[in-house]
Amino acid sequence: MRIRKKPWAEAELENNSRVILDAPAKKGKWAEFFDNDNPIYVEIGCGKGGFITKNAQAYPEINFIGMERQQSVIAVAARRTDEALPNLALLWENAMNLSDLFEVGEFQRLYLNFSDPWPKKRTYKRRLTYRGYLESYRNIMGEHAEVFLKTDNRNLFEFSLNEFCADNWKLSNISLDLHHSEFEGNIMTEYEEKFSAEGMPIYRLEGRYDK
């Protein structure tokens, strides 16, 4: 997602208590930060924060962390999530830095919602469901790993199915048209609301890996 640079973004990140600018210093200490031992779920590419905020509202017994690499986008998310939600934090970070932010087993589920499909063949290793990424996710999540994926891109979805299988993940709740399926409890992202309103199918899967 690309949005125009916001002149107020830097100040928003510095002054919004929801944004954690020293995230590497929290490695191994996220339970202390949230002041509880509840499970931690992470979203990579949280965009403007709609999905992760709705989850934090719906599941107060879970701690949620939204990551976004674009400064202006995470600043918009921070500004929009003005409700008091002690179980929500936002990070201006890149997916490649997960091992710098969390100890092994410190979070239990990862959400990948409408990630960049990197459609050119030469860029397939940059897709967040490339097997190299999947291996890194399961290594850092430890004994039990969960990755939930949603996308509007059929090619990325088919690629992801193959990559999960190649890395020996168990797949469930696979949907080729989520909004016309029997799946219950779906929380939509901003992209999802837009695409589904246009009649586009939403693809979804759940991947789990147990050591």
Residues marked as catalytic = 116
Widest distance between CA atoms in the chain? 46
Taking the C-alpha atoms of residue 65 and residue 46, their distance in angstroms, rounded to an integer, is 9
SS3 labels along 69-125: CCHHHHHHHHHHCCCCCCCEEEEECCHHHHHHHCCCCCCCEEEEECCCCCCCHHHHH
**Cα angle, residue 102 at apex, residues 98 and 104 outer, rounded to 5°:** 105
Q: Angle 82-88-93 (CA atoms, 0-180°, nearest 5)?
A: 100
- What are the backbone dihedrals phi and psi of residue 141, each rounded to the nearest 5 degrees, phi first? -80, -20
